[in-house]
Amino acid sequence: MFCDAEVAPNARVRDAHRQVLLDAARAEFGRGHWYTLLHADEFFHDDPRAIIAHAEREGAGFVNWASMQFFMHTTDRDLFDAHGHPLEPSVQRRLRWYSPFWIEVRQFLDEPGLPWLEVAYRRLEHGRVFPRGTRFKPFSRMPVLKHYPYRSPAQMNAKSGASGFSVAHAHPQAIFRETAQPIYRTACQLEQPERPDFGAFEMLRQPSLLGMLWQQRALLNRASR
């Protein structure tokens, strides 16, 4: 376990600081293993262990995940008190609206000799979470994860001033929205949060990896990118 002060002494944590974590894992376990990344505001919908087993059989080097972007919809105002704190403690039960979807690499194979982010680490670059040089063969499907960057008005306003990672403009008019961000064209609502079903985006219902890539292009507003 590392705290922020150990990973980034006297600095804000950036994606390039993942080098410290990978070096520690390599020192303890060696190379040749699969790694799974999960941020504190994410939940896997599909089983990451099963995904690795499928990816290994295909000889893949990394796995793209479809990140469903959950947000506070304009109909969600009654879910929070006057101070912006949630009345329902479980974010997965509380927030039902999401915009499909962003693509995130959340699993990769750390093969012998694979470089990580040495140059990026020296420059403290941001925006890449897996090694350069990963075997360029993606898993043939796109499993689903749930992303909850903004979980309450109070948390959203606090995050806007504290995070080193990308955040939306947290002015009051932006807290409750019709889509997760202007970049997304649509929003969907989960009918049963306890047993979520993402319809055509469910992995076994997807047309193909290429089909998902084309779908994502159609779901985004190019002018907002």
Residue ranges of domains in the chain: 4-224
User: Looking at the predicted structure, is the pLDDT value of residue 60 above 90?
Assistant: yes
Q: Is the model's pLDDT at 26 over the cut of 60?
A: yes
Q: Which residue has the tokens 């202007």?
A: 182
**Residue pLDDT, tens place only, 89-106:** 999 999 999 999 999 999
Instruction: Give dist(CA 73, CA 173) in Å, integer.
Output: 12
Please give the average per-residue pLDDT across 64-78, as a whole number: 97
Distances (CA, A) of 12 to 2, 4, 16, 97, 189: 14, 8, 11, 31, 35
Comparing C-alpha atoms, which of 4, 22, 6, 13 is closest to residue 130?
Answer: 22
Query: Pick the residue with more confidence: 99 or 20?
Result: 99
End-to-end CA distance of the chain: 36
> Residue 61: which pLDDT band, with cuts at 50, 70 and 90?
very high
Residue 54 is inside which H or E element, if any?
Answer: helix 48-58
- The region of weakest confidence among 7-11, 17-21, 121-125 is 121-125
What is the CA 184 to chain-centroid distance, rounded?
A: 15
When pLDDT is averaged across residues 17-39 and rounded to a whole number, the result is: 87
Cα 77 from Cα 37, distance rounded (Å): 32
Whole-number average pLDDT of the chain: 86
